[in-house]
């Protein structure tokens, strides 16, 4: 059977690609033929992820970058184009979601960090790569947002606000970089990745959703593959919820 999501000949850049959903997406891209640039703060973790992709027979580049710092983002873009000459798929996945029991307890430093990593960084990276994609004839930008941007939890106020801003810029960039560059957002719920090991066991039991369980990584990877592939040629500016029908 022909590979439905064939990404052969394409180059993907995945931020936060060394663990969690980012790693699963990066590996899936490699499995479907793409070369992959893995970016996150820790170089050793990026290198480990890159080796996994190389074992699939693909080229991979590990690059340490803090997505909240624009000068480092400029370096990431320069390294990506120097190594591969292009970026066909960009996944803005890096983020942080610290709990904030009371808004009055949130420090300016923490607020700025949450906003920088979840919104400021993806904005800058898309702003640099989107026009290059357009000039090259097309591409796909996938912003990993959160269902929390639509159903905010009081303990994640700054995070929910930052992801809501990411949703807004998804639509704005779809208009700016279109028609050949597609810009979409995936809004995940809770997924059973390595990060979930640190969550309280009772959290899953209390999920208020039509499908009351954590998602498995494969259940979001297919959405990323769809948006990365040519099969989503008429999908842009979309906010796709992959959350099991969360209600709260």
Q: Which residues are catalytic?
A: 159
What are the beta bridge partners of residue 224?
A: none
- 181-188 sheet: strands from edge to edge: 60-64, 35-40, 11-15, 89-92, 139-144, 181-188, 239-242
Instruction: For residue 179, say if its preceding peptide bond is cis, omega within 30 degrees of 0.
Output: yes
The total of other beta-carbon atoms located within 10 Å of residue 137's CB is: 10
CA dist 3 and 5 (Å) reads 5
Tokens of residue 220, six digits = 């979001």
Q: Among candidates 137, 217, 122, which has minimal Cα distance to 182?
A: 137
Helix axes 43-54, 20-31, angle to 10 degrees: 30
Cα atoms in the Cβ-side hemisphere of radius 13 Å centred on 53? 33
HSE at residue 124, side-chain half, CA atoms within 13 A, is 20
Residues ≥6 apart with Cβ < 8 Å to 36: 11, 12, 13, 14, 17, 26, 29, 30, 50, 53, 58, 59, 60, 61
Question: Largest alpha-carbon pair distance within the chain?
Answer: 57
Token digits of residue 94:
């890096």
């Amino acid at each position: 059977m022909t590979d439905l999501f064939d990404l052969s000949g394409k180059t993907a850049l995945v931020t936060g690609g060394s663990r969690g959903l980012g790693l699963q997406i990066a590996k899936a891209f490699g499995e479907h033929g793409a070369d992959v640039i893995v970016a996150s703060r820790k170089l050793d973790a990026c290198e480990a992820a890159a080796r996994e992709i190389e074992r699939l027979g693909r080229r991979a580049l590990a690059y340490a970058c803090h997505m909240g710092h624009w000068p480092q983002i400029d370096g990431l873009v320069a390294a990506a184009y120097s190594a591969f000459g292009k970026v066909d798929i960009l996944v803005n996945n890096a983020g942080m979601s610290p709990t904030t029991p009371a808004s009055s307890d949130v420090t300016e430093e923490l607020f700025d960090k949450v906003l920088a990593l979840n919104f400021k960084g993806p904005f800058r990276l898309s702003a640099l790569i989107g026009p290059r994609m357009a000039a090259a004839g097309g591409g796909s930008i996938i912003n990993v947002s959160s269902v929390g941007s639509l159903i905010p939890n009081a303990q994640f106020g700054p995070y929910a606000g930052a992801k809501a801003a990411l949703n807004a810029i998804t639509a704005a960039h779809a208009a700016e970089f279109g028609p050949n560059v597609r810009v979409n957002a995936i809004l995940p719920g809770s997924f059973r990745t390595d990060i979930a090991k640190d969550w309280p066991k009772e959290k899953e039991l209390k999920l208020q959703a039509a499908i009351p369980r954590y998602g498995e990584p494969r259940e979001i990877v297919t959405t990323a593959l769809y948006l990365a592939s040519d099969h989503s040629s008429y999908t842009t500016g979309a906010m796709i919820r992959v959350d099991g029908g969360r209600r709260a």
